Amino acid sequence: MANQQISRSAYGIITLVLLAVLFLAVNLFSNIVFRSARVDLTQNNLYTLSDGTDEVVSSIEEPITLRFFYSEKLANDYARIRTYASHVRDLLEEIRARSGGNVRLEVIDPEAFSEEEDLAMSFGLKGAPTASGDVVYFGLVGTNSVDGLEAIPFFTDEREQYLEYDVARMIQNLSRPSRPVLGIVTNLPLDTGVGGLMSAMRGESLPFMIYDELQDRFEIEFLEQQFQAVPAKVDVLMIAHPRPLDEPTLYAIDQFVMRGGHVLAFVDPHSEVSLTAGPNGEPIPGYTEASDLGPLLESWGIDYDPTKVVGDRQIAQRVRTGLDARRQESDYVIWLAVPRENVDTDDLVTADVSRLNLGTVGALAQAEGATTTFSPLVTSTEDSQLYDIEDVKKGPRPDDLLRNFTPTEERYVIAARISGPVKSAFDGPPSEAPVAQPGGVSPRKSQEKAGPYIAQSQSDANIIVFADSDIFDDRFWVQTESYLGERVAQPIADNAVFIMSAIDNLMGSNELISLRARSKIDRPFVVVEDLRRTAERRFLAEQDILEKKIAETERSLVELQTRGSAAPGGPAIDEDAEMRKFRAELLESRKRLRDVQRDLRRDVENLGGQLRFVNIALVPIVLAILALGAAFLRYRRRKARVEKGA
Residue 66, strand partner residues:
105, 142
> What global pTM score does this model have?
0.64
SS3 (DSSP) at 158: helix
Q: What H or E segment, with its residue span, contains residue 137?
A: strand 135-143
Backbone angles phi, psi at 543, to 5 degrees: -65, -40
Backbone angles phi, psi at 240, to 5 degrees: -115, 95
Give the span between the Cα atoms of 294 and 304, in whole angstroms.
Answer: 9
Question: How far, CA to CA in Å, does 119 sit from each of 97, 109, 115, 126?
Answer: 26, 11, 6, 12
Per-residue pLDDT band at 244 (split at 50, 70, 90) = very high
Are the C-beta atoms of residues 489 and 216 closer than 8 Å to each other? no
Q: Per-residue pLDDT for 551 more than 80?
A: no
Q: Per-residue pLDDT for 199 more than 60?
A: no
Tell me the pLDDT tens digit for each residue of 610-637: 777 776 777 788 888 888 888 888 888 8
The predicted structure's pLDDT at residue 490: 76
Tell me the pLDDT tens digit for each residue of 365-397: 999 999 999 999 999 999 999 999 999 998 888
How big is the CA angle at 64 (ends 58 and 69), to the nearest 5 degrees?
A: 120
- Summarize the chain as % helix, strand, coil (round to 5): 45, 20, 35
Are the C-beta atoms of residues 462 and 313 closer than 8 Å to each other? no
Per-residue pLDDT band at 260 (split at 50, 70, 90) = very high
Tell me the pLDDT tens digit for each residue of 316-356: 998 877 555 445 678 899 999 999 999 998 888 998 898 99
Residue 482, strand partner residues:
487
CB-facing half-sphere around the CA of 420: CA atoms within 13 A:
12
Of 196-210, 340-354, 475-489, 615-629, highest mean pLDDT:
340-354
Q: What integer best gives the mean pLDDT of the chain?
A: 81
Torsion sign over Cα 267, 272, 275, 279: negative
Q: Per-residue pLDDT for 425 more than 70?
A: yes
Are the C-beta atoms of residues 311 and 335 closer than 8 Å to each other? no
Are the C-beta atoms of residues 342 and 314 closer than 8 Å to each other? no
The predicted structure's pLDDT at residue 390: 94
Give the span between the Cα atoms of 615 and 582, in whole angstroms.
Answer: 49
Residue 558's Cβ-count burial label (10 Å; 0-12, 13-18, 19+) is exposed
**Looking at residue 525, what DSSP letter applies?**
-
Are the C-beta atoms of residues 252 and 215 closer than 8 Å to each other? no
Per-residue pLDDT band at 448 (split at 50, 70, 90) = very low
